[in-house]
Amino acid sequence: MFRHLSSVGGIAPDLWMIQKSLQSGFAPEDSKEGSTSMKRTVMFLLLGPSLVALAVLMVAVAIAGPVDDAFVALCVTASFLITLPVSAITGLVDGYLARGLPPLLRAFLAAAIGMMGAIGLVLALFKMMFSPTVPPEVMNGALCAGFFLLLPMGLCSLLSNDDGNRPADCAPDCVGRPA
């Protein structure tokens, strides 16, 4: 099956590295500078839009009732799709801020960035599709869309914290260098 076997228990080198990283939880390369884990990506691209869609589902069911399923499905799908690019940008900014800021401050900044991104996206979409002037009702709707992203983006920032990979003898602001 394998052409050349390594001297480590007769296992091929690729398979041995995979097995080693699965046993330890993280590969040793994960704590080096420049390496990233997939935790932030999963949090911001799956959990963030899902939490927003869940919040919109609860509000839409409360407004329309369980009778109008098409309206509720449209609201949930639209909120998930609109939240996805905003969440991706917020995740990138959060990953950049992770090197120098404590997790709690990063969570507040990620929440604010997500809120501003959602407001900007809703207003830009309205302006492109309908009218260059934005009525106050649409502005209120954009603010509501921003408030829906406030908590999920902050939560995703806190949950994607990678302090578990940092060595114990490392200062909070160092990445790969001893204190």
Over residues 36-51, the pLDDT tens digits come to 568 888 889 999 999 9
Confidence of residue 24 (pLDDT cuts 50, 70, 90): very low
Higher pLDDT, 8 or 65: 65
pTM attached to this predicted model: 0.68
The whole-angstrom separation of Cα 59 and Cα 119 is 19
DSSP string, 60-105: HHHHH-TT-HHHHHHHHHHHHHHHHHHHHHHHHHHHHHTTTS-HHH
The whole-angstrom separation of Cα 152 and Cα 156 is 6
Domains in the chain: boundaries: 37-160
pLDDT per residue as tens digits for the range 70-84 = 888 888 999 999 899
At 168, which amino acid appears?
A
> What DSSP designation does 43 have?
I
pLDDT per residue as tens digits for the range 84-105 = 999 999 999 999 998 889 999 9
